[in-house]
Chains A and B, each alone.
Chain A
């Protein structure tokens, strides 16, 4: 794809950033991305991002974990080799169930937690040796950066962003990816 121009507006305060985001949204400009050094409470709502569905994914993973535990122990302890171990009733799964509950619980939590974390990594494209996508190193310390695509409206955007309290404006050629 062809290279496109974006404008990087840099802020030094999260409150200023929040009002700037609201202002830019009100003016109907599309915000490509916001880089912040820490989570800014309410930023996702101001940007109009959709709520995450990772909790639903986690619930499903937990159900899978519970099923794995039940099927595994039913096969091993009840069907494959129902030994008498210390008088425990291995005639049916239900009769011996209390003994399996700790494993059922742990596997539910294990699946829910680990698969959710892996889902998070995949969805947010994070892995070792990944090239950092940081447009400005200062955004990891104490600066906030808002990125807006330019569609021939440079002057208008610049004056709007100046008004919102941006301390620095950079126009950058960006490889679309």
Chain B
């Protein structure tokens, strides 16, 4: 049995409180009036030494605005048009500044939710594949997946709130005014509408948490069952297979809904897989890190360094898989250079060069070189170090997917971003370790548990 240590509980609650304060500060300071934004822009313009050209370069996410800005630049002969152009530009920037705390909150919420969902998929795969090495880690995975339900509801709630309470701060297709003059959005409104978005989201969440609920229930029931009574395990096996089919469809659709639709003019066919790889590798990394934390407290005598080796191999392999998908998506679009698709990467290259390329180093080059050696995969502090870099890298991955569409070049990793991470990290730790402390850490009824305890690579 694990008891949630008071120290960790205090840390998680402190993280939540400090995070919440920071998030509140972010929301309070993001409401700039027209005049304030105007002064900010003039100050920036004097710093850059640029005049009107600056404005045209600013047109980013909202394609329509960008086109208008470029148009205005060409015919800026009459003073009236220039004033109109100026107003539009200031309003655009005002909107971007207001979007920032929303997007920061959303990115962090999605990042922690995707860890839990990735672990849920990994857990189901272990059952469906009847893996012999992993049953000693099942209770850790079950505890992490406890975050799926609250995490997913929070993500959906933020998404919906941004379109109802907020001023369409994340998804512009939620804005009826925007849709009214946008033919492309009108064409997609059969899929991208609020009702459909909410219903689909609830179906996804219901499916995932139902699987999680029953898998956990059968796993606990198996502990109490007779030695030769494997009925609960068989049920787990069947629902895991069914869930994986459901998961791969819903995960894909979820990635269109919750991420790809922030850029509603853009689409990519392997996007679902790409998001999947990201959540899968972060999930496995978190399993490895929590395992090592508990192991360092001597709570997991049945976990040996071969288990750690296998987890590190997964971290290594799925990092490369993620890179493969990232590069496949990027290279196909870069190579053909079709204007309607390539804007996605043009904005990222123009305004997000450091996070965009830095994430490839953190998610690929670093794990490739660090986790290639077989001996290093057995050294806990080495794997933890690699894990921290991988997790930071995948946070930036989500950041790169959401931010360019909402705040454009007004991004920074400052108070709103870091406090959002702290808030959700606190919540994640609190929920996961509470779930962990409810039942023994060894799923002793599992028919593969003996094999797993003696697992040796």
Contact = CB atoms under 8 A, between A and B. Distances in A.
B327 A87 contact: no
A99 B335 contact: yes
A63 to B, nearest CB: 11
A59 interface: yes
Nearest to A88: B335
B334 A98 contact: yes
Interface in A99-150: 99, 101
A88 B49 CA distance: 33
A101 B372 contact: no
B177 to A, nearest CB: 38
A55 B330 CA distance: 31
B29 interface: no
Contact of B331 (A55, A87, A98): A98
Contact of A59 (B330, B337, B372): B372
Interface string B292-334: 0000000000000000000000000000000000010011001
> How many interface residues does chain A have, given as a range?
under 10
B330 A98 contact: yes
Interface in B354-407: 372, 374
B372 A98 contact: no
A162 B146 CA distance: 60
A98 B349 CA distance: 14
A64 B274 CA distance: 30
Contacts of B327: 98, 101
A98 B337 contact: no
Contacts of A87: 337
A87 B334 CA distance: 12
Interface string A47-86: 0000000010001000000000000000000000000000
Interface of B: 327, 330-331, 334-335, 337, 372, 374
- Per CB-CB distance, the 6 closest pairs between chain A and chain B, nearest first, are A98-B331, A98-B334, A99-B335, A101-B327, A101-B331, A98-B335
10 contacts: A55-B374, A59-B372, A87-B337, A98-B327, A98-B330, A98-B331, A98-B334, A98-B335, A101-B327, A101-B331
